[in-house]
Amino acid sequence: MAKHSFHLQANWPGGRNDVGTIDAGQLKTTISIPKEMDGPGIGTNPDEMLLGAAATCYIITLAAMLERSGVQHALLTMESKAVVDVTKGVFTYEKIIHRPHVVLRQEDMKQESKVQRLMEKAETSCMISRAIQGNVIIELEPHITTEV
């Protein structure tokens, strides 16, 4: 059984509203609390990184599933949104909404129902989606069109 390890080095100079850094190999960035949560809003933050992890995992999983299924597509894009609830000073990462958009070539529109199934399956197959399952709701608003 093969296992992979991922490593991250974090440096934080002080208190809540300071600015730190992370280095995880290909991901090197400044981090702080977002302005919306009364922080300095410099660099990225855990909320954006969780959204980024969920979105990139989903879109890569979907692309792989489309490829393995022999579905040719002209374009694959996605918009994702995170909703964080703040009640009585407690921040809760409530849900993530993925809005994938697959543009099929005209001759591949006959595979639209297959693409729809793959879009739904990719969400439950993604490693990050499975990791946060039961804690964060993930909603899917898929969209399929044909190229013009």
Whether 118 and 76 map to the same domain: the answer is: yes
The 8-class DSSP code of residue 43 comes to: S
Which residue range(s) make up the domain with 118? 46-146
Total count of domains within the chain: 2
Characterise 144 by phi-psi region: left (phi > 0), alpha (psi -120 to 50), beta (else): beta
Domain check: are 62 and 34 in the same one? no
Kindly state whether residues 74 and 28 are assigned to the same domain: no
Q: Distance between CA 107 and CA 91 in Å, rounded?
A: 47
> pLDDT of the chain along its 148 residues, tens only?
899 999 999 999 999 999 999 999 999 999 999 998 889 999 999 999 999 999 999 999 999 999 999 998 889 999 999 999 988 878 899 999 999 999 999 888 899 999 999 999 999 999 999 999 999 999 999 999 998 7
Same domain, 58 and 92: yes
